[in-house]
Structure 1
Amino acid sequence: MKFVGAQEWVPSRGGLPSLETALPACRGCDLWEEAEQVVPGDGPAKARMMLVGEQPGDVEDKEGRVFVGPAGRLLDKALAEAGIARDDVYVTNAVKHFRFERRGKRRIHKTPAVSHIIACGPWLTRELQIVKPSLVVVLGSVAARSLLGTTFRVTQHRGEPVELPDGTAAVATVHPSSVVRSEEYRRDFGLFVDDLRAAAALLE
């Protein structure tokens, strides 16, 4: 399916409140049809650090807030361990609606297609333009595809300083949901915290 993309719905002027107001009207792809609601980013308008995840999950879709489900709780814990205050960072997703498949009464996460990532790209681009972070933390492969291209591999470059195409400093790591599901939780949580500490060190 060919999507028109979000560009015509993204306001070219105004700050984060203008984005949040405009988001619910977006019809750039088909995800709005099944999702409960769009989930905007959250955090200070001039945060020095921006964290970019994949998409809202089931809890986020119901509550309309970013990173408040199991992955969000783990992210909060990891940020605290790394000495990063959640209130100081701007947190958002590469895709703003929840993509899922139904299994009985449950809604099971389904990875956004490349077409969804591309269609939603203008929203993320505008967030970057408004916030102007000194550093972007890329959480997982979907965010990496959106920000760093199709050839970038998080597993090969996690924790390393890289640059976005516009020159903004960045660090890539796994998505916190992968740590939630890990059979080696203690190890993988520690590695995730290490990556966040590496990101924080770049701001010092």
Structure 2
Amino acid sequence: MATDGNTGAAQFLPGEPDLGSLREAAARCEGCGLYRDAIQTVFGEGPAKARYVLVGEQPGDQEDRRGEPFVGPAGRVLDRALEEAGIAREETYVTNAVKHFSFTMKGKRRIHQKPTAAEIDACRPWLDAELTAIHPSVVVLLGATAAQSLLGRSFRVTRQRGQVLPFHDALAVATIHPSAVLRAPDREQAYAGLLADLKVAAGAGSS
């Protein structure tokens, strides 16, 4: 249930940011209106010196309830694909471009709603701070929202997925979001595409 009032997260950043202080500060973020209806901030998780940072769109219903990223059905798809691609989970940090669940109500159910450009921009300081703190070798962008958040709104996952791209002092690889596999008419084909892109990221991270 997005609202206006996107003042941005920068004012909530701690003075000397590491992952611990960022997580603590993000729990109090009111940089956009999403905090009003979400249960909690869902910050990233993983090692402070992760080789890979995986960025999704936003937490879903289960993630919002548990306070952890990628613990729902899409997370299980991602875990399987990472294992098959040869990316060790202990070398990955998972997070989202937006840290609060954006949704609409349908009866008693909370239905995912794509975050607005203003909400994505408002939350960007958290993602930038995570990347600065971790200093990964490869950033894997899961879906259009994550890719456009970091690579610009003209970026098209459909055309540029699976390519190794320079990103500051790291590399970036974009692919579909694991939830797209669950929605696809042909799940096997969609999963094969996700796996192929993650294998590209694995190769970039080991070179």
Specify the TM-score bucket, using the shorter chain as the normaliser: over 0.9
Structure 2 stretches lacking a partner, 5+ long? none
TM-score computed with the length of structure 2 as normaliser? 0.96
Task: Name the structure 1 match of 2:186.
Answer: 184
Counterpart of 2:86? 83
Of 105, 112, 119, 1:102 maps to: 105
> How far apart are the structure 1 equivalents of 2:116 and 2:90?
31
Partner of 1:151: 154
Contact 1:2 1:115 in 2 (8 A): no
The amino acid of 2:66's aligned partner reads E
Query: Secondary structure at 2:16's aligned position in 1?
Result: coil
Q: Do 2:97 and 2:123's aligned partners in 1 also have CA atoms closer than 8 Å?
A: yes
Identity of aligned residues (%): 52
Query: Does the 8 Å contact 2:57/2:98 carry over to 1?
Result: yes
The 2-side partners of 1:121 and 1:151 are apart by 17
What secondary structure does 1:4 align onto?
Answer: coil
Matches within 5 A, 1:96-135: 96-135=99-138
Distance 1:163 1:193 in 2: 21
Q: Which runs of no fewer than 5 residues in structure 1 stay unpaired?
A: none
Q: Matches of 1:37 and 1:103 in 2, distance apart?
A: 20
Counterpart-to-counterpart distance in 2, 1:163 and 1:155: 18
User: Is 1:169 matched up with 2:171?
Assistant: yes
Shift of 1:2: 4.6
Aligned length in residues: 203
Is the CA contact (8 Å cut-off) linking 1:96 and 1:120 kept in structure 2? yes
| Superposed CA offset, 1:18-76 (max 9, x none) | 01111111110000000011101000101111000000000000000010001001000
2:190 equivalent to 1:197? no
3-state DSSP class of the match of 2:132? helix
Partner-residue secondary structure (3-state), 1:25: coil
Determine the C-alpha separation between the residues in 1 that align with 2:71 and 2:80: 12
* Structure-2 separation of matches of 1:84 and 1:154: 21
Which structure 1 residue ranges, 4+ long, deviate > 6 Å from structure 2? Answer: none
Aligned mates of 1:180, 1:87 — CA distance in 2: 25
CA contact (8 A) 2:17 2:129 kept: no
